[in-house]
Chains A and B, each alone.
Chain A
Amino acid sequence: MSNNIPADLKYTKSHEWVRTLANGNVEVGITDHAQGALGDLVFVDVPEAGKTLKVGDAFAVVESVKAASDVYAPIAGSVVEGNPALGSQPELINSEPYAGGWIARFKPDGAPQGLLSAAEYQAHLASEG
């Protein structure tokens, strides 16, 4: 199982990653572990700009041949944009989960809270077994 976990990102127990961008916005995707578990992605339903979310709201759906999973908002805020490339290339999430496969960018309501560090996410994966 692929388990690349970049040290400079934050994580959630439900396998989302969070990157704070230079302009204060936040970029979100799913981890290498998650994309491996799903298999080849065939479709991604990205959110529209302007949608407001609380922590834990489902804001996107990633669909493979054998599963369809909700992606949950790790922070409260509003959607700035969904990744337009995923419409025609959902496989970017498989090949570049932390780069070209980002799912959405948010304008956060305040600083992100309760996120896991890379080490904590790694420990969480180990405990899930």
Chain B
Amino acid sequence: MPFIPHTPDDVEQMLGAIGAKKIDDLFDEIPKELRIESLSGIPDALNEMELGRLMSARAAQDGMPINFIGAGAYEHHIPSAVWAITTRGEFYSAYTPYQAEASQGTLQLIYEYQTMITSLTGMDVSNASLYDGGSAVAEASLMAIRTHRKSKAQRILVPTTLNPAYRKTAVATASGQGVRFEEVACPKGYLSVADLEKYKGEDITALVIQQPNFFGVLEDVDALTDFAQANGWIVIGSVNPTSLGILKPPGEWGTKGADIACGDCQPLGVPLSSGGPYAGFLTAKMDHVRQMPGRIVGRTVDLNGKQGFALTLQAREQHIRRGKATSNICTNQGLLVTAATIYLSLVGPEGLARVANECHARTNELVAALTKIKGVKLAFDKSRFHEAVLLLDRPVAPVIAELARRGIVGGLDLSTDYPELGNALLVCATETRSTADIKAYADALADTLKAASRAA
């Protein structure tokens, strides 16, 4: 019996202590007609060797293509130390730090994480994580509604330049509480003050700005932040943490800084892993701390006056406030925060700036190489960071399929979410893409487009 240590002797002794004859007797309070005999749909057990063969075959099946997609999940170099330490049993198999004295490792780590992520985003306070960048937009919006004492309408402006998966997640998560997410169309590929003029004087609670935006284009965050705050709107910045090695953080946008920052920690030491687990971050100005959902760690002292760490401000959370909690979140993404904290400690301020710099350089190199090809042009002529939208002279899906056959994951087809752009492809090159990788992509794409042209 895998993972169950009991010998028949053990079972006999234990039943004796209980006063039962067989294990089945222990279920005698359960109505007989509910008890199942067999789970015929479950296959026989595999031992670890057999299991290893199965999973290795499945993983090999998916190959190792060269990746050029970003769109909210980014491939970066992950130092070996990150997961060697994160998968230590003391981090991996520990529980939420409710018994603080037995969890000082996790608690101190979260305190260090809170310090790093608040500084990176230019804010004052952070929580211990949310599920991902999409739900973080929802939680930030709900937080803005709780904080904004005057606004009644619960209207959140979301530009179409915000990651569409984030928008959809925010709607699915928060509309049940009456939150209305209104899309602001951005046909030029970025949000401008002109796009917001029509909301002047209306009861809007908050504006979400993504930087860089979903297309990789850099938004004019200062003008947008000042305009929004002049109208009494709360400003939420959804940001990529790698980019903050080079870009101005939300806390420094405009004259007063954004009020709330959110995003995903995935670029910080967390592998792509087919989609998760990642970790959402949420930071804010100190004024808003009591409206912040999720766990928060504070430093305090023990009975002897020695420094220690504990969960604090728990009265906001579900296990105390129940129906009136700031959120129902309980388990969050602790292990990924561990990885992100170790990653940030290894890169430091200079390393992070270098990573950001190289991502930008590689994307510029990629764009230059691909736009040399006939039938490929750049969509938006504006400053960008680390991602770009290309326009092809033909539908994108078959091109992506052909590139995949050649071992290249070429980018994201935007035509489902942004049909108005035409044949649009979102591409990204991080510091992990070498010049040889980029040349391989360019050659494959040129070949693909030529072959299709010939066939046409």
Contact = CB atoms under 8 A, between A and B. Distances in A.
| A and B in contact, CB less than 8 Å | yes
Interface of A: 42-43, 45, 48, 63-68, 70
Contact of B324 (A64, A65, A66, A70): A70
A71 to B, nearest CB: 13
Is chain B's binding surface mostly helix, strand, loop or mixed?
Answer: helix
Contacts of B149: 48
A45 B315 CA distance: 13
A59 B314 CA distance: 21
B327 to A, nearest CB: 14
Nearest to A66: B320
Max chain B C-beta neighbours (<10 A), residue from A42, A63, A64: A63
Given A43-B290, A48-B149, A67 B320 contact: yes
A67 B315 contact: yes
| Interface size band for B | under 10
A48 B314 CA distance: 24
Interface string B289-324: 010000000000000000000000011100011001
A63 B315 contact: yes
17 contacts: A42-B315, A43-B290, A43-B315, A48-B149, A64-B315, A65-B314, A65-B315, A66-B314, A66-B315, A66-B320, A67-B320, A68-B315, A68-B316, A68-B320, A68-B321, A68-B324, A70-B324
B308 to A, nearest CB: 15
A70 B324 CA distance: 10
Contacts of A70: 324
A28 to B, nearest CB: 20
B288 to A, nearest CB: 13
Interface string B204-231: 0000000000000000000000000000
Contacts of B321: 68
Contacts of B314: 65-66
Nearest to A64: B315
Contacts of A63: 315
A122 B149 CA distance: 38
Interface string B307-350: 00000001110001100100000000000000000000000000
